Structure formats: C-alpha cells, structure tokens
Copies of this chain bind each other. A is one copy, B any other.
Amino acid sequence: MADLSHTESLEKIFEKYIPEAELKEVKRILYGRELQPLEIAAEAKSLSEKNDFEIQGYKFSAPEEELRTPRVVRIAGIQSKIVLPTTASLKEQRDAIHSKIGKIIEAAHHCGVNIVCMQELWNMPFAFCTREKFPWCQFAESAENGPTTQFLQELAMRYNMVILSSIMERDENHGDMLWNATVVIDNHGRVLGKHRKNHIPRVGDFNESNYYMEGNSGHPVFQTEFGRIGINICFGRHHPQNWMMLGLNGAEIVYNPSATVGHVSEHMWGIEARNAAIANNYFTVAINRVGTENFPFEFTSGDGKPAHKDVGFFYGSTFVTGPEGSRTPGLSRTRDGLMIAEIDLNECRQVKDLFSFRMTQRLDLYADSFKKASHIDYKPQIVE
C-alpha cells in the first residue's frame, strides 16, 4: 500500500510556500472566515511537550445579541495512536491508552475545555480488519460502569468536564450483545446516556457488520450544562439524514468520533462533517485516529489487494466546523493532538435565522417520499 504518512498537514504546506496575501485568499475560499488562534495555557504546553502531542485552538466569535447573553464554551477533540503493540496483553494495551489520554485531558482542563471527545473506540486498536472475534471482543465493556467509563468519570468530576467516550459496548442486560456506542459522561461524573452507531460499514477492511448491529438508540441529543450535544459515530458521517435527525432534535454541537484511513476516505474527510454543519447549522467536531496498527496475522483484503497485516494509515486531521461552514485547520496527520474551539452556542440560532435552511426544509415532503422509496414495489420517478 502507498505510504501516506509523509505529509504533516495540508496547512503546513500552504504556510510554507504561499505568500501571505494569497494565503489569506486560499484560506478564505477553502475554510471561510478567519478564526483567531486561542492562547494556550503554559501548563498545557508543558504537558504537550513532555508527552509529544500537538495542541491547536481557535475562536469562533459570534455577534452579541440584545435579548440573549452569549453562551461561550470550549469544546475539544482528541486524536491519538495506540500505545502498545496489538500483541501485548489486552489490559496493558488499554491501561497504556488510558494513561496517555489522561494527560491530554489534563491539558484540555488547563485550556478551560468544557466538553471533550476522543476518536472512535479510542481505548483499543481498530481490530475489525482482522475478521477475528478473539481476543478483540474482550475489549467490550459496560457503558454504565465498565473500566473505561469509571476511569473517565473520575476525570469528568475532577475537571468539571463533559466527556464523550466511544467504546465497544457489552450489553449485559440483553444477552451480552455487542454494540458500537458512545457514552456521555456529564461534568459531575454521571453517565447521562449513550448513543449507538446507526450505520455500520461493510467497506474494504472495515468489517464491522461482523461484530455488531445497527444502533437502536435513535438520535438522542444530550442536554448538558455546556450545550446540547449529538453524536454521529464514524460511518454515520456518510449519511446526511443521520446528521439531520440530530439537528431536528436540537443539537448545537455534533461529535463525529471516527477511525478511517487514507486510501479509503482522506479526500472526503474535509467534506462530510462540514457539509453537516452547514446543512444543520450546528458545530461539528470530526475526530480521527492516528498511525498504523499492525496485527499478528495477515488478513484478507476487502479491496482487491494481497493479504496484509494493517488496515492502512489513520490520518488524524481532526477539525471543527462552525454553523455557517467556516472551519479550523486540521490537526496533524501523524501526531497525537488536542483541537480546541471556543464557540458561542448562540451562533447556531443566528445562522438559522439568516439562512432559513430549517424553515425551507420541506420535511413532510421528504418523510412521504422516503417512505414511498423504502417500499419494495417503489417505482422511481423516471421521465422517459
């Protein structure tokens, strides 16, 4: 497979070569309005240097309103590599990741972050490419009181932070089923609820449909002290209607914890979460894992290549988009990182008032059209 790990980031290339005036125009056309960088706290900088992760922060400012006070919060995404080889004991693998992420969350605390989320299945390697059930299914744990949830509850309380944690869930109340779920832990350490992945991939080496079924939790939006949060897990970002239902339920911020590799999706990465922010007038945070994960045995290729031992290069590039489509640069393609955005939640409604996308949506028409199109005897509207 082609080595896609050489480039640190698109933005670094732009900044290296393009003169200032043109660079400004490139950024305007590609990324939208100019976002001011946030000052990063010294304690956070020191943690990032000691533990080799990047921090970037930007400010989305919104006009002040006369009849509402601003609702300014700081939201963040964390991207990371696994720590130990996939052949180490599962407990050691998990503990090593917990420990590393604990330090990045501490840095987020020093930066005044109110809500944080890691990538999809952040506490384990993304092992579904192996098609092996064991040992990987052992990583599954209770959303309500598994070891990863307990680890994060303690941090949520300590830092007064909402933490979203994407895990493989073991559903003990329903015969030990597996799910791909994201747990929402509020800033008092309470498990507020969970969202289960609605759309499960069957693409190339992403064989997740072997492991768990389509989610049955609907499109919940979690009301926290820092805003209303929705979650669209990984492959769900290819499905605009999944994003839309979260908007209809009132989400102001939608997290997209992902795990995706360069040769499959990198050219789409900047498109989908951003399109969702535009169409639904909320903030989106798209988070991807980093690095290449090697497994002990070769596995079949799902896309016409020889058998291999890794699923490809996870290219990081975590970024935040605002409700009118302006976005931050991406984090590094190759390093662990923390992306912070200071936002005013009031901007969501301001943009709705400006663009009227929600009011011009004709939801009833599409409810009827989708229903008809889902019938087995549907006749498409074709003019010949």
Contact = CB atoms under 8 A, between A and B. Distances in A.
A71 interface: no
Contacts of A177: none
28 contacts: A7-B29, A13-B18, A17-B22, A18-B18, A30-B30, A32-B268, A192-B383, A198-B362, A199-B362, A203-B354, A203-B355, A218-B369, A220-B383, A221-B380, A222-B384, A223-B383, A223-B384, A238-B357, A240-B241, A241-B244, A245-B370, A249-B373, A268-B278, A271-B275, A271-B278, A272-B278, A303-B354, A364-B370
A110 interface: no
Residue among A17, A25, A200, A220 with max Cβ neighbours from chain B (10 Å):
A17
Contacts of A270: 29-30
Interface in A271-298: 271-272, 274-275, 278-279
Interface of A: 6-7, 10, 13-14, 17-19, 22, 25-26, 28-33, 184, 192-193, 198-204, 214, 218-223, 228, 235, 238-241, 243-245, 248-250, 266-268, 270-272, 274-275, 278-279, 303, 325-326, 354-357, 359-371, 373-374, 380-384
Contact of A361 (B29, B33, B221, B239): B239
Given A6-B25, A13-B22, 8 more contacts: A7-B22, A17-B17, A184-B383, A198-B362, A214-B362, A220-B381, A240-B279, A245-B369
Given A22-B17, A240-B275, A374 B363 contact: yes
Identical chains bound together, number: 2
A357 B239 CA distance: 7
Contacts of A362: 198-199, 214, 239
A32 B357 CA distance: 29
Contacts of A10: 26, 29-30
Contact of A364 (B6, B184, B374, B384): B374
Contacts of A274: 271
Contacts of A198: 362, 365
B383 A221 contact: yes
A119 to B, nearest CB: 19
A28 B263 CA distance: 10
Nearest to A192: B383
Given A13-B18, A245-B373, A325-B268, A239 B383 contact: no
